[in-house]
Amino acid sequence: MVVLADDAHGFMVMWEPMALSSFFLVTANHRVPAIREAGFLYLLIAHVGAIAILLCFGVLQANTGDYIFASMRGQSLSPKGELRPDGVKLVSRGSAT
């Protein structure tokens, strides 16, 4: 469902169930302490990635206030004084893998 989202709201609403289901898959054998620690680390990193994605959406919609992906693609950002969405995407992609 995350892949099928047409706007930022739908994307973020579906991001949380994806992160939680991945957490439960990672911690399926929760009796092993190392697996529990890995699961909580995954959950933390997934939420850091979600915050980075939210920042990226905020930068991309700053001029219009529209959260639809089609209008975000049409944005032209000036490189001066604005947060670069490329850097935010790099952080969010690194945390999602």
Evaluate if residue 21 carries a pLDDT over 90: yes
Q: What is the pLDDT of residue 64?
A: 76
Evaluate if residue 74 carries a pLDDT over 60: yes
Best CA proximity match to 75, nearest among 56, 52, 97: 56
Cα angle value 81/69/64 (rounded, 5°): 50
Question: Residue ranges of the domains in the chain?
Answer: 8-96
Evaluate if residue 9 carries a pLDDT over 80: yes
Can you give the pTM of this predicted structure? 0.69
pLDDT digits (tens, 9 = 90+) for 53-73: 998 888 888 777 788 888 877
| pLDDT over 70, % of the chain | 76
68: DSSP letter:
B
